Amino acid sequence: TYSVCVCLLGLISLSVTLDNGLLKTPPMGWMAWERFRCDVDCRDDPENCISEGLFRDMADRLVEDGWKELGYEYVIIDDCWMSMLRDKQGRLQPEPSRFPSGIDKLARYIHDHGLKLGIYADMGTHTCMGFPGTTLEKIEIDAQTFASWGVDYLKFDGCYSNPVDQMLGYPLMSKALNATGRPMAYSCSWPAYLGGLPPYVNYSLLGEICHLWRNYYDIQDSWDSVLGIVDWFFNNQDELQPAAGPGRWNDPDMLIIGNFGLSVDQARSQMALWAMMAAPLIMSNDLRNMDNSARAILQNRVAIAINQDPMGIQGRRLLQEKSHIEVYWRPLSNSASALVFLSRRTDMPYLYHTSLAKLNYEAGNYEAYDVFMGSMVKRLNATTDFTISVNPSGVVMWYIYPEQSKKTATIHQHHKEASQFHKAKPEHHNVL
């Protein structure tokens, strides 16, 4: 089967490319699944069931609470939106009791807010929760249906399908989306169903047909789940990191910040590590009920800017120390970079000693901005040892740039921006 699939892929890849100019930086927005799952009980739980009201509410919050201006622009419907029956023309249709206005009208509401609408389908016989699937012969009509509704983003899952159908179906959907003439972002779950790694996953092909792809298991609302995902991605960074770039992103799944499972430190850690991975920043939480600490983390302008860096190079893990401190690095535009120091400890804040030279930085003087503390770090020479305090399951995140580069206008702008960030109210103090 594997050799047959590879041959099929070779034929398909000659004719399919998805280059509609979208997602040159990772997508940002909100998705229903992790927080609201498949709650279809609109009689007893009208505020939280999967319905047009929920998505209108989230669109309102994205605009009114400052999310949209930071780049959070997609409102994405996940599983369980469909009627159990297609219409007489064979088209998918929303469940009328929960989406009485139809998806096209919901899309207009989203667009009128300056936002974009995402939707979910599955290339098997059924979706993961048992709703109608998009089998091979239905791909074209479903792509046309989504385009006619004004959809801007498709998440295409793979439950109840097989490897051969996946090999055919994911490229065919890419071709069908292109053929509609409507620019749509295309999120593929394909690698997650094949183990996520070569030789079973061809990341060169994926980059031609999809804008982003789920590589690994679904995230759950727990720190253990976050760590499991982080470990898998960075343990396999040699295969995964080169696959990412503008218009083609690895997707470690949703941001669960603002729910129930993470402490404030753990929430900062997820935000920092997703920014380092150049991951989609797709929240799954209740934007109507969010505490200030979660909001401050998700709306941290510097963490977002690091995530959205236009070079689009995914970061790497540099070190795993015996002390259970880990160091992550990501190169950024204009000679800048980001460093994250993560504590895997569970006891107390740990004093970590190092220097930029030990982390492969070239000789010279640097300036750094502490992303979550909201202040500049004193001048750093590459060879000068420094000490930081990292909380258990927490991070210290720095945005760093060479001091001498301020002679150029572009880097001076980085320094100017960092100086503006410096005026922000510090959240906590990490640097000793």
Over 80: is that where the pLDDT of 70 sits? yes
Residue 378, pLDDT score: 81
**The predicted structure's pLDDT at residue 379:** 82
Sorted by where each starts, the structural domains of the chain and their CATH numbers stand as 2-307 (3.20.20.70), 316-422 (2.60.40.1180)
pLDDT of residue 430: 39
Q: Is the pLDDT of residue 373 over 60?
A: yes
> Is residue 218 annotated as a catalytic residue, yes or no?
yes
Mean pLDDT of the chain: 92
pLDDT one-digit tens code per residue, 88-105: 999 999 999 999 999 999
The three-state (H, E, C) secondary structure of the chain, written as one string: CHHHHHHHHHHHHCCCCCCCCCCCCCCEEEECHHHHCCCCCCCCCCCCCCCHHHHHHHHHHHHHCCCHHHCCCEEECCCCCECCCCCCCCCCCECCCCCCCCHHHHHHHHHHCCCEEEEEEECCCECCCCCECCCHHHHHHHHHHHHHHCCCEEEEECCCCCHHHHHHHHHHHHHHHHHCCCCCEEEECHHHHCCCCCCCCCHHHHHHHCCEEECCCCCCCCHHHHHHHHHHHHHCHHHHHHHCECCEEEECCCECCCCCCCCHHHHHHHHHHHHHCCCCEEECCCCCCCCHHHHHHHCCHHHHHHHCCCCCCCCEEEEECCCCEEEEEEECCCCCEEEEEEECCCCCCEEEEECCHHHCCCCCEEEEEECCCCEEEEEEECCCCEEEEECCCCEEEEEEEEHHHHHCHHHHHHHHHHHHHHCCCCCCCCEC
44 is catalytic: no
Q: Percent of the chain scored above 90 by pLDDT?
A: 88
pLDDT at 428: 39
Q: What is the pTM of this model?
A: 0.93
Confidence of residue 19 (pLDDT cuts 50, 70, 90): confident
Active-site residue, from 157, 251, 265, 309: 157
Given the residues 60, 65, 218, 221, select the one marked as catalytic. Answer: 218
pLDDT, tens digit, 9 for 90 and up, residues 164-188: 999 999 999 999 999 999 999 999 9
The string of pLDDT tens digits covering residues 132-145 is: 999 999 999 999 99
